[in-house]
Amino acid sequence: MHSLLVERIHPRRMRRWIAQLALGITSLHDMGIIHRDIKPENVLVDRYDNVRIFDYGTAYIHDKPVRRGKKYSKELVGTRQYLAPEFLSGKSYGPTVDYWALGCTMFDLLAGDVSFRFQTARSSHLVV
């Protein structure tokens, strides 16, 4: 998907991919997996134009479904431009970090560029 950031992508196609990613992330959480590194480079588009999430090298794996509102880890992993504020503050976090990264990925698709190049740029957009 990262290579597609330089192309003009039809909005209907983007909406389809974003919806599929959201459903995929929810399914991962239902299986007890927090991906922790959702980004365009970790999303493949197959020949049927469906997205596939891959690269589970930094994933947190729990023996039961992970739920919003619960905290599972404090480990700092992932790609800086897609990290949720919880990562950066050193607080414990849960599955919502994947949805933050989805939002950043969605921005990248729509804008054709990464949402936050530097930490200072990100912090200027956060309301604490």
Q: Residue range 3-8: average pLDDT?
A: 58
* CATH architecture, domain defined by 2-123: Orthogonal Bundle (1.10)
Tens digits of residue pLDDT in 44-96: 999 999 999 999 999 999 999 999 999 999 999 999 999 999 988 889 999 99
State the chain's mean pLDDT as an integer. 86
- Beta bridge partners, 53, equal 43
Cα–Cα distance measured from residue 122 to residue 68, given in angstroms and rounded to the nearest whole number? 23
Tens digits of residue pLDDT in 87-101: 888 899 999 999 999
- Beta bridge partners, 44, equal 52
List active site positions. Answer: 37
Q: Which long-range contacts (CB under 8 A, 24 or more apart) does 63-72 make?
A: 63/32, 64/32, 65/29, 65/30, 65/31, 65/32, 66/29, 66/32, 66/33, 66/34, 66/94, 66/95, 67/29, 67/94, 67/95, 68/94, 68/95, 68/96, 69/94, 70/94, 72/34
Q: Is the pTM of this model over 0.85?
A: no
Residue ranges per structural domain of the chain: 2-123
pLDDT at 22 over 70: yes
